[in-house]
Chains A and B, each alone.
Chain A
Amino acid sequence: MKSPASASWKAPLKFRMPTAENLIPIRLDIEVDGQRYKDAFTWNPYDPDSEVVMFAKRTVKDLKLAPGFLPQIVQSIQSQLATFRSYEGQDMYVGDKIIPIKLDLQVNHTVIRDQFLWDLNNFDSDPEEFARTLCKDLGIEDPEVGPAVAFAIREQLYEIAIQNVTSARENRISKKGRRAAEHFTPSKASGAALDLMKLFSFRSSVVRKRKEWDYYKPVLDLLSNEEVDALEAKEERSGR
């Protein structure tokens, strides 16, 4: 590409999940004959497509869903995979970007709210490991919480990665014909990116002020059965 204009400029990479393992998040929400199936999981986009069908069959069988679910599940997964693939060949700008990731999810009886920073440029990052550590440190015993946390992280990363691609594309289009350096400031990409200059400069410290500590620590709530039911009912009402 063109010569780098500043130290923070990085050559654009091909689109991929900015994590150690290139798994994409898949979300399903299907309703057939009054039965509602909601699920979220990570998928390896390099698995052959036959795996999708097998997975769908297995799911229908394990959860004892109506057979009408099968084609819908397959179709949904495949369309999400296709979306991913459509972005795949394109360039993605990954500058020095540290974004805040927020968690606000309810898994069975556990409610987690959390906020932390994630470096998009760190391709060794592993949402699953982070989720494991979080559950271990908080002493969460429900085995479903970890994957849900990892999934939420992945989903947010995926969104931002897609934004990167689209904005890189726009940028290229706008700069078409010009031989200027492809200097791409982080602040343009998304407003969520932090101003690194301010945070990591010589004068400031990387230790947060005490009053901010409570914002960035995880908040864990354990619900009782009634509260879970109440929440579910509320959700259904808002969903329908």
Chain B
Amino acid sequence: MENKPRHDPNPDSNRPEEPELDLYTIPSYSSWFAWNDIHEKERQALKEFFEGSSISRTPKIYKEYRDFIINKYREDPSRRLTFTEIRKSLIGDVTLLHKVFRFLETWGLINFLAPPPPHEGSENDDRVRVENGAPNGVRVVATPNSLRPLSAPVVKGKNSGDGVEESGVKLPPLASYSDVFGDLKRLHCGSCGDNCDSGYYEYKKDNFIVCDKCFKNGNYGEDKSMDDFELKDCREKSAANGTVWTEAETLLLLDSVLKHGDDWDLVAQNVQTKSKLDCITKLIELPFGESLIDSAKGRGNSSGTSMSMNGIKPVVVPSSEDQENIINEDQGYDGANENENNGDSENQEPPLKKKRTASPSDADSSIMKQVARISTMVGPQITASAAEAAVAMLSDEMSCPREIFYGDHIDLTNGSLSPSIYQQERAHNTEESEIKERSNPSVGVLPVLIIIIICKKIDSLAESQETHPKKSDIPLPLRIRAAVATGLGAAAAHAKLLAVQEEKEIEHLVATIIEAQLKKLNSKIKHCEDAELLMEKEYAAIEGLKEYILGERINILRTTYNTGTSKLLEHSSVQSQTSNLS
């Protein structure tokens, strides 16, 4: 904001009778202002004065207000002019006056050099503290009696323009939710803050729970009476005494989930012996149940009970959302996708997510580094699903890894699980092949993903080893070696491709530059030629003129000579004429 002198100072004035003008500074964006005139901006902002709707609002009145206010300010430019000071001196509606005042203040025509107003908000900051997220003891649920905590739905295929169609690969949202809300699974009493390990009582009207002890003591906060509370047994309790799932039932459950997706009524019907709640509970407890739900219905669901996944946390994998980001980086899509996908999440998530979305688009670090960095921020379910997706992609190209990966799927001890996993892989396969066609850059991250997949398999295998005898015949070290080899090979190929691409681009650009230079030269030459032509024509014209003038002169001399002149003059004038001519 530059300062622009309002009047020109006349220090060395040759007109001593003129008074010294004062310099007032106003910002350069207000240079349209003129004392004698009302500018269009003023007419627009303060329409009331210019509509002729009332006798109390005319342009003349506006000008008087404006001039008075500005002059009042300029009596002492260093102090802040307040509205109250001027409204006592002006006749008119105070609301309208305030509008004029604010207009002048915004444009810096008054109070430009004054100190800023004392900030009243600062003292209030000590008294009020804004906290993010739900308070302790309150759990946000989708419906008042459900036990499943709410998480943000993933928006389907909201990519820019010709972007990738993300039809079937729906993955759970960023796992920060589970990290953050994981411990809310243990319910806290609203009044005493203890964990409600035994049964707890839920207030019917709000999300308020008290533990057993508090309820019995009558210590449940104000405004609540005993009958407003409902007894709800702890999930652990119910889980302990409750349901036992046979393999057949589990298989049935998985099939129906894949078929019906989110429709728990139908699922419960299929699995006749178990209620809706039990189905949901069981599904969540299953190690891959999360991804099943997600792939089946395309909505993010994380409940944090991914116990088997917790083992992989230290070695994590970027989400396929990250993949998506890399895919879309070429299109300049800023990772806002992640935000969109989790648009409706609770308060705590947006700040965390925003931080995260900045890094993927940071193009200077290599993809590997990005992958490594992002993977440390992201949680397990994403790794699982993304890794599976990546595996599918690579497996299309190479058969050896496929054997290794799918080999142990089939050999997974829990026979009921395998068909569903297989289905999942198939589903991923089709989508991934589509994605593959459209995106080459993502190839680079696959090697890392593969390594991770291996670890996950190892983990799950290790688990299954405890309960069942080991059936897989492909030894662990071989798998690892194969994975590493594949990874490195893929990375090398990718690098080479990139280098070739770069070279081509360079050549292309150089050619363009040379072309441009040639064009410039050509136009310059043309310009010079045109100028030459012009000059030649002009020269010819001037020559013609010269001859003409010469001819005229000769004529004049002839006539003078013919008419006869005095003897005295004759000699001298002819002499001088001839000397001139020569």
Contacts and interface: CB of A to CB of B under 8 A. Distances in A.
A218 interface: yes
Contacts of A205: 64
Nearest to B60: A202
Given A96-B55, A206-B64, A216 B88 contact: yes
A116 B87 contact: yes
B89 A96 contact: no
A123 to B, nearest CB: 10
Interface string B75-86: 000000011110
Contacts of A197: 55
B54 A207 contact: no
Contacts of B91: 117, 199-200, 206-208
B84 A217 contact: yes
Nearest to B120: A136
A8 interface: yes
Interface stretch (B92-100, B158-166, B356-364, B476-484): B92-100
A122 B403 CA distance: 80
How many B residues touch the partner, as a band? 20 to 34
Contact of A98 (B56, B117, B222): B56
B201 interface: no
B89 A134 contact: no
Interface stretch (A69-77, A124-132, A230-238): A124-132
B474 interface: no
Contacts of A96: 54-56
A218 B54 contact: no
Contact of A125 (B55, B64, B87, B95): B95
B87 A126 contact: no
Contact of A136 (B87, B94, B117, B223): B117
B545 interface: no
B206 to A, nearest CB: 14
A159 interface: no
B242 to A, nearest CB: 41
Interface in B80-135: 82-85, 87-96, 98, 117-118, 120
B64 A129 contact: no
- Residue among B61, B65, B94, B120 with the highest chain A CB neighbour number at 10 A: B94
Interface string A107-131: 0000000001111011011100110
A213 interface: yes
A55 to B, nearest CB: 15
Nearest to A115: B88
Interface in B54-68: 54-56, 58, 60-61, 64-65, 68
B89 A125 contact: no
Nearest to A57: B223
B400 to A, nearest CB: 70
B55 A206 contact: no
A133 interface: yes
A207 B64 contact: yes
A98 B85 CA distance: 20
A134 B84 contact: yes
- Residue among B55, B58, B61, B88 with the highest chain A CB neighbour number at 10 A: B88
Interface residues of A, number: 39
Interface in B212-251: 222-223
B55 A8 contact: yes
Interface string A197-233: 1011110011110100111111000000000000000
Contact of A200 (B56, B85, B87): B56
Nearest to B82: A137
A206 B90 contact: yes
B65 A118 contact: no
B56 A119 contact: yes
A139 B56 CA distance: 31
Nearest to A133: B83
A130 B87 CA distance: 11
A28 interface: no
B37 to A, nearest CB: 19
Interface in A164-213: 196-197, 199-202, 205-208, 210, 213
A1 interface: no
A122 B84 contact: no
Contacts of B98: 129-130, 133
Contacts of A126: 95
B50 to A, nearest CB: 15
B115 to A, nearest CB: 14
Contacts of A121: 54
A230 B117 CA distance: 35
B55 A7 contact: yes
A121 B68 CA distance: 24
A138 interface: yes
A55 B25 CA distance: 53
A118 B84 contact: no
Given A119-B95, A207-B89, A196 B84 contact: no
A189 B98 CA distance: 27
B54 A137 contact: no
A141 to B, nearest CB: 8
A200 B95 contact: no
B276 to A, nearest CB: 35
Contacts of A119: 56, 92-93, 95-96
Interface string B192-204: 0000000000000
Contact of B96 (A122, A137, A207, A216): A122
A210 B222 CA distance: 59
A122 B82 contact: no
A91 B64 CA distance: 35
Nearest to A201: B55
Contacts of A214: 88
Given A118-B95, A126-B95, A196 B55 contact: yes
Contacts of B118: 139
A216 B87 CA distance: 8
Nearest to B83: A133
B54 to A, nearest CB: 5
A236 B64 CA distance: 48
Nearest to B72: A207
Nearest to A215: B88
B58 A137 contact: no
A119 B120 CA distance: 29
A229 B84 CA distance: 30
A139 B80 CA distance: 13
Nearest to A153: B94
A196 B56 contact: yes
A124 B61 CA distance: 19
A117 B92 contact: yes
29 contacts: A8-B55, A96-B55, A98-B56, A98-B93, A118-B93, A118-B95, A119-B92, A121-B54, A122-B95, A125-B93, A129-B98, A130-B95, A130-B98, A133-B84, A134-B84, A137-B83, A137-B84, A196-B55, A200-B58, A201-B55, A206-B65, A206-B92, A207-B68, A207-B91, A213-B89, A215-B88, A216-B87, A216-B88, A217-B88
Given A117-B93, A206-B65, A207-B89, 10 more contacts: A8-B54, A98-B92, A116-B88, A119-B56, A206-B61, A206-B90, A206-B91, A213-B89, A214-B88, A217-B85
List 7 tightest A-B contacts by C-beta distance, closest first. Answer: A119-B93, A217-B88, A137-B82, A137-B84, A125-B95, A216-B88, A200-B56
Interface of B: 54-56, 58, 60-61, 64-65, 68, 82-85, 87-96, 98, 117-118, 120, 222-223
